[in-house]
């Protein structure tokens, strides 16, 4: 039996999630009101902490926001919102300046910020901190400032289990402790969803354990629109060893000159894309998957051993140390790699000021979708996204944004709800987290088709309909995972084409009539 208490403390801002998006929002919001951060792990337990590749911004000589915008639109495969991309790239340099002012130690060469290049970028514009530890340095800097603030309260190991909305307006958040079944309703004027991605829906992922899509599920159940859920980006190069956990090998390695080779040691990317090893992530992921299939499942190899050892160890100290733990010396031998679920392009639908269709409910970071990434995120735009839109979100709560315009029903986007799909004469696996992850990896991963998607939709629907009312924090987490999995599958089933990170074997080409967004709502 659970009990629910109503908290007497009211907050101006309640922020769900403690990644860079949530912490940046908290720090900015604390200048204007009381702030509560709710996080189901530690304050620094998040996706953004593990971002190795860096943060993109047009601050270098010869670069410009216009060039950055063009690269972002090209990578997005026709589904980026130009206004959102213009905001991201135009306000990016100011966001970098803010981080520098707060003390983020970006890497320098001869006193100038060092800039790297990654796949699908036309210019060197990637800033790093600590080589391949950019996310960690930004997260630690922001977390330290949050802990030092007397206007920010942090509830760690606390699960948000419901966004309370009355008459289409946010009223607060219901929470419970990780080990307790007691519920509390905490009132608040503004609720911000910044819970990161949902990589733990998949068997192989670069995401930490906490990345289960909770914020998207909570917002959807509270009446918010969700968009572009079929576009899940698989990072092409994750460490692939039976003895090691899935570990991200930064795209910056290929930016520095690493070469992808097949199991026989042959370079292969030039046959798949004109940019070869610097091709967009979806192209590289599918190419590696195809090479692995030809090699009976043997992984591809990422080879950086031709570069000077000192360059490799100084540029990628975290990756070097992690591989050495498992007996690999990347300065001397190639690294076995395979794709893994990495980044969710879809999420809670927002405008360019972080507002949803539910009054008082905002979202930012990976849990949000302003269509800034389109069908395929440009490398290293994600950290910039968290900073730019969290700042705009706070400005909107202060009345410094144009009046909110509800989405236009005549905009050509496809609006759907989740469909009840019944099982007929099929053996259904037992409901559980591991079976869900296996189902999503097999049927809703890098390559999809209608038959497997429909089967997955039916299984997920049955699991959800027969699930008992959640009681523990883990029950609520599984409920959220099932909701988000259904959103991904339904959108993928509806989009009968291949575009960006969404690849359908039965509809292998992009179709102009599908140059629109799929929007889901309860």
Q: What are the beta bridge partners of residue 160? A: 175
Q: Treating both helix axes as pointing N-terminal to C-terminal, what angle do 450-465 and 473-494 enclose, rounded to 10 degrees?
A: 150
Return d(Cα 489, Cα 387) in angstroms, integer. 29
Answer yes or no: are the C-beta atoms of 357 and 223 closer than 8 Å. Answer: yes
Q: What are the beta bridge partners of residue 518? A: 414
- CA distances in angstroms from 10 to 145, 191, 216, listed in the order given: 22, 12, 24
Give every CB contact of residue 33 below 8 A, 6+ residues apart in sequence. 11, 12, 13, 151
Pure H helices in 103-133? none
Q: Please classify residue 420 by burial: count the beta carbons closer than 10 Å to its beta carbon, then call 0-12 exposed, 13-18 middle and 19+ buried.
A: exposed
DSSP character at residue 402: P
| Two tokens, residue 110 | 């001869």
Is 349 an active-site residue? Answer: no
Which helix or strand (DSSP H or E) is residue 361 part of?
strand 361-363
DSSP character at residue 446: S
Return d(Cα 176, Cα 158) in angstroms, integer. 6
Return d(Cα 361, Cα 97) in angstroms, integer. 28
Residue written as tokens 């299939």?
293
Q: End-to-end distance of the chain based on CA atoms, in angstroms?
A: 28
- CA distances in angstroms from 205 to 40, 124, 325, 360, 462, listed in the order given: 19, 27, 20, 33, 25
Answer yes or no: are the C-beta atoms of 226 and 520 closer than 8 Å. Answer: yes
Indicate which residue of 261, 281, 349, 392 is catalytic: 281
Q: Treating both helix axes as pointing N-terminal to C-terminal, what angle do 473-494 and 214-221 enclose, rounded to 10 degrees?
A: 80
The residues carrying an active-site annotation are 281
């Amino acid at each position: 039996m659970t009990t629910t208490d109503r908290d007497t403390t009211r907050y101006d801002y309640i922020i769900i999630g403690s990644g860079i998006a949530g912490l940046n929002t908290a720090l900015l919001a604390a200048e204007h009101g009381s702030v509560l951060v709710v996080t189901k792990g530690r304050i620094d337990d998040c996706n953004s902490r593990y971002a190795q590749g860096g943060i993109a911004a047009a601050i270098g000589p010869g670069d410009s926001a216009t060039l950055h915008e063009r690269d972002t639109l090209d990578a997005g495969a026709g589904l980026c919102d130009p206004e959102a991309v213009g905001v991201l790239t135009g306000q990016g340099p100011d966001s970098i300046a803010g981080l520098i002012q707060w003390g983020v130690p970006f890497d320098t060469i001869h006193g100038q910020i060092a800039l790297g290049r990654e796949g699908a970028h036309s210019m060197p514009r990637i800033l790093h901190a600590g080589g391949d530890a950019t996310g960690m340095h930004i997260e630690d800097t922001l977390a330290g400032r949050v802990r030092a603030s007397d206007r920010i309260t942090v509830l760690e190991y606390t699960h948000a289990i419901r966004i309370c909305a009355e008459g289409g307006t946010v009223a607060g958040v219901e929470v419970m402790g990780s080990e307790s079944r007691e519920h509390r309703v905490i009132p608040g004027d503004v609720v911000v969803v910044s819970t990161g991605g949902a990589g733990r829906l998949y068997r192989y992922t670069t995401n930490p354990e906490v990345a289960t899509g909770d914020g998207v599920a909570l917002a959807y159940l509270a009446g918010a629109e969700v968009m572009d859920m079929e576009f899940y980006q698989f990072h092409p190069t994750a460490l692939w060893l039976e003895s090691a956990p899935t570990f991200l090998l930064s795209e910056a390695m290929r930016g520095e000159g690493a070469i992808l080779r097949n199991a026989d040691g042959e370079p292969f990317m030039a046959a798949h894309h004109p940019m070869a090893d610097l091709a967009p992530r979806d192209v590289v992921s599918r190419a590696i998957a195809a090479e692995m299939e030809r090699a009976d499942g043997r992984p591809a190899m990422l080879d950086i051993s031709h570069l000077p050892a000192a360059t490799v160890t100084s540029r990628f100290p975290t990756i070097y140390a992690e591989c050495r733990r498992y007996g690999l010396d990347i300065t001397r031998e190639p690294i076995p790699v395979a794709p893994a679920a990495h980044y969710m392009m879809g999420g809670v639908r927002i405008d360019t000021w972080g507002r949803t269709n539910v009054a008082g409910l905002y979202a930012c970071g990976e849990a949000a979708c302003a269509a800034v990434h389109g069908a395929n995120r440009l490398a290293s735009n994600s950290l910039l996204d968290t900073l730019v839109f969290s700042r705009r979100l706070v400005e909107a709560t202060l009345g410094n944004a144009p009046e909110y315009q509800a989405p236009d029903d005549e905009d050509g986007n496809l609006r759907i709800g989740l469909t009840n799909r019944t099982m007929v004469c099929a053996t259904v696996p037992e409901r559980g987290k591991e079976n869900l992850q296996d189902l999503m990896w097999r049927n809703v991963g890098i390559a999809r088709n209608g038959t497997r998607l429909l089967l997955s939709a039916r299984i997920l629907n049955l699991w959800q309909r027969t699930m008992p009312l959640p009681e523990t924090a883990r029950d609520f987490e599984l409920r959220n995972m099932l909701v988000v999995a259904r959103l991904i599958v339904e959108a993928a089933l509806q989009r009968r084409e291949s575009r960006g990170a969404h690849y359908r074997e039965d509809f292998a080409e992009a179709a102009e009539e599908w140059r629109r967004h799929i929007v889901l709502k309860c």
